[in-house]
Amino acid sequence: MLLLLLLLKCIECTIKEPESVQKVRLRQSCQSRQTGYFWNGQQCLQCKSPNCQCLSQGGCTSCNDNYYYDKEDTNCKPCPKGCQNCCKNPLLTQYVCILCVSGYRNINGVCVYMGKCAMISMHGRCIECDQGYYVDFEFICRKCGDGCEDCSNLAFCNKCSDGYHLVNQQQSLVCKVCNVDGCKHCKNDICIECKMGYYKDGVNSCGKCLTDCDTCQNGNQCQVCNYYSIVNEQKTKCNRCQDLFPNCMDCNTLFREDDSTYFTCAYCLNGYYYDEELKSCENCIKDEQNILQIRRCESLEMITQCQPGYLLLQDRYIDLEREIPQMLKYTCIKNIYNCATIIDQNGYCNTCLLGYILFKENQIGKCITCKDKAENCKDCYITPNNIFQCIQCETGYFLQLDGKECKKCGDNCIQCNDKVLQCDICEDGYIQQNGVCESCNVKNCRQCKEQNKCITCEDGYGAINGECKQCQFGCVECNFDQQLCQKCQDNYFLYMKSCVPYPSHCLETSDDGFCYLCETIIDYDNQLDKFIDEGTQAPQYKESNISIFFKSVNGYCLKCSDYDTGQYFCPDSCLSTIHSFESIVMFSWLLFHIIQ
């Protein structure tokens, strides 16, 4: 009995999970997600950004394809459309693409959508198209006629697709469909060769092979099955992976000594595991009521991942007959308290998700928000003695001395002390008088020292003789004179006390309106953020739009890649790539502001 107690006491320090199980769990639980998740020992948690790879909730270790790491925001942001790997020039707004996705071509650091174009000239014009298309006089790829695989233009086909044959029709070479179903090559409506999956049946007909069969001599037996299936010993059926292994997600294709092939199940669908002895995918658990809680398992009752909303808990127990500590029983526990990890079958928390704090009541750990304990509490903590303390309230509320409650300040009050009627800071348009917020009684007023006399107005208005009068268009601040502006709106610059709009697509100008920083319009397909599960295909870009880049040239924003003129002002490096003229302009602008 003493030995048993000692074993119970030491069980935490002696039992370790096999490394192989940990690797399997890691692979099956989080690695299969294409967006950013990590395994914390009990569940998959999302990284700080859904598009990065991480080891904890603290931040990203690297970004997924189609994203770059923004050092300022410490986050993964999307690359321009068509770009698989990019970086950002530190002194420009342009993104430099290092590697383009399929269907795009990298020109001076920009991914240009090729469409059906196979080759683009140095001037950005298409000179060669994909198979089945031709270049017209506008340098656009147009589709060949029906059934044509290679053509010079719409009227002259050089080669027909399978199932068609070339005919001369009204001084044009066009493709006409074969009249025999399943025919690959025909001449004068006589079939010469049948398509894959068909066999020559008689003088002028093609019979269909068995399902998934590529090569056969009759409709009852198969010689060669397609890529996704393997013929049985009797050659009477082409079996797919799931035909041989029900509930298998994916199979491996292996070769015997005689070069024949066979399937083995690589891994099973969620809720199943592969039994090596039975050579089949079996349910993860006998209890069908709990099967919906389980996502992945390694063997019967050996769960390796639970469904979202459940946490994986390992229970240790003692083999009483042999007095040996045994590993382990895994169970899925519903996450009802917003835990990151739990400690027992009741689902009580050990650590919390981001945005929650651990609070214990009667030794029961639950994850709560500040507002769960104190309404309108913005920030809080739990003391070592497990006492809740609010340290900051929402705007318009003040904290009681005991730190347990946030009470509302007076009307129109932003910040107040512990007395409700003593306001320190009022909302815009109000003035503090005797601890109470009174209206300035001036329309569009932001701040006043006395009622009916405004000193600071809302954007677009100027304080003139105590009233707020509308400034000229584009002006934010025009105190003392409506026609003389002191500060302009975004995308306007101040010139001789008037606001002049930036050049088109400009983000920043010097004082004389010289644009030195241009915008980048990123077109991004949100479908790329879609959750990817095992066995499904990643989303693809939609080609309806492209990203557009602009670069400052002589103070104006020109398209980085202008296909019509063959002009390319694109940055080709993520290092400082400002040219000499731009350097002089930038230096002059900085020097002018320093002198000012």
Give domain status of residue 485, yes or no: yes
pLDDT(576) > 60:
no
Q: Give yes or no for a contact between 42 and 312, defined as CB atoms under 8 angstroms apart.
A: yes
Mean pLDDT, all residues of the chain: 81
| In the block, residue with structure tokens 């980048």 | 520
| In the block, residue with structure tokens 């309404």 | 375
Number of residues assigned to the chain: 596
pLDDT tens-digit readout, 145-166: 999 999 999 999 999 999 999 9
Task: Output 593 or 223, whichever has higher pLDDT.
Answer: 223
Domains in the chain, number:
2
Q: Give yes or no for a contact between 110 and 549, defined as CB atoms under 8 angstroms apart.
A: yes
Last residue of a domain, one of 501, 524, 552: 501
- What are the C-alpha distances in Å from 300 to residues 271, 292, 294, 541? 10, 15, 11, 40
Phi-psi region of 139 (alpha: psi -120 to 50; beta: other; left: phi over 0): left
pLDDT(428) > 80:
yes
pLDDT tier at 553, thresholds 50, 70, 90: confident
Q: Give yes or no for a contact between 283 and 271, defined as CB atoms under 8 angstroms apart.
A: yes
- Is residue 475 domain-shared with residue 560, that is, in the same domain? no
- Is residue 548 domain-shared with residue 582, that is, in the same domain? yes
Q: Give yes or no for a contact between 455 and 479, defined as CB atoms under 8 angstroms apart.
A: no
- Is residue 485 domain-shared with residue 515, that is, in the same domain? no
- Is residue 482 domain-shared with residue 510, that is, in the same domain? no
Task: Cite the DSSP H helix spans in 15-130.
Answer: 19-26
* pLDDT value of position 77: 84
Indicate the range of 349-358, 414-423, 579-588 predicted with least confidence. Answer: 579-588
**What share of the chain in percent tops pLDDT 70?**
81
pLDDT tens-digit readout, 505-524: 998 888 888 998 888 888 77
pLDDT tens-digit readout, 348-361: 999 999 889 999 88
Mean pLDDT of 450-465: 93
- Is residue 490 domain-shared with residue 515, that is, in the same domain? no
pLDDT tier at 459, thresholds 50, 70, 90: very high
Indicate the range of 125-129, 157-161, 181-185, 213-217 predicted with least confidence. Answer: 125-129
* pLDDT value of position 13: 35
Give domain status of residue 240, yes or no: no
- Residue 534: how many other CB atoms lie within 10 Å: 16
- Is residue 488 domain-shared with residue 551, that is, in the same domain? no
Mean pLDDT of 570-593: 49
* pLDDT value of position 82: 83
User: Distance between alpha carbon 515 and the CA centroid of its chain, in Å?
Assistant: 33
| In the block, residue with structure tokens 């989303």 | 539
* pLDDT value of position 382: 92
Cα separation, 368 vs 388, whole angstroms: 11
Q: Is 527 helix (H, G, I), strand (E, B) or coil?
A: helix
**Which phi and psi angles does 198 have, rounded to 5°?**
-130, 160
**Sign of the torsion angle spanned by Cα atoms 393, 394, 395, 397:** negative
The tokens describing 57, both together, are 């909730």
pLDDT(592) > 50:
no
- Is residue 551 domain-shared with residue 490, that is, in the same domain? no
- For residue 236, count CB atoms less than 10 angstroms from its CB and return exposed for 0-12, middle for 13-18, buried for 19 or more: exposed
CA angle 288/292/296 to nearest 5° reads 105
Give domain status of residue 160, yes or no: no
pLDDT(502) > 80:
yes
- Is residue 477 domain-shared with residue 524, that is, in the same domain? no
**What share of the chain in percent tops pLDDT 90?**
38
The domain of 478 spans: 440-501
| DSSP state letters, 335-370 | --S-EEEE-STT--EEEE-TT-EEEEETTEEEEE-H
* pLDDT value of position 300: 77
- Is residue 521 domain-shared with residue 571, that is, in the same domain? yes
* pLDDT value of position 525: 67
Indicate the range of 69-83, 220-234, 477-491 predicted with least confidence. Answer: 69-83
- Is residue 469 domain-shared with residue 515, that is, in the same domain? no
CA nearest neighbour of 274 among 248, 256, 253, 255: 248
Give domain status of residue 465, yes or no: yes
* pLDDT value of position 551: 83
Give domain status of residue 234, yes or no: no
* pLDDT value of position 17: 41
Cα separation, 130 vs 92, whole angstroms: 35
- Is residue 461 domain-shared with residue 524, that is, in the same domain? no
- Is residue 486 domain-shared with residue 515, that is, in the same domain? no
CA nearest neighbour of 197 among 246, 240, 162: 162
Give domain status of residue 493, yes or no: yes
Give domain status of residue 462, yes or no: yes
Cα separation, 336 vs 309, whole angstroms: 8
Q: Give yes or no for a contact between 462 and 480, defined as CB atoms under 8 angstroms apart.
A: yes
pLDDT tens-digit readout, 268-315: 888 889 999 999 999 887 766 666 788 888 887 688 888 888 999 887
- What are the C-alpha distances in Å from 497 to residues 250, 357, 378, 392, 466? 71, 53, 43, 43, 21
* pLDDT value of position 362: 82
Phi-psi region of 196 (alpha: psi -120 to 50; beta: other; left: phi over 0): beta
Give domain status of residue 523, yes or no: yes
Mean pLDDT of 366-383: 93
| In the block, residue with structure tokens 């009233």 | 467
- Residue 545: how many other CB atoms lie within 10 Å: 13
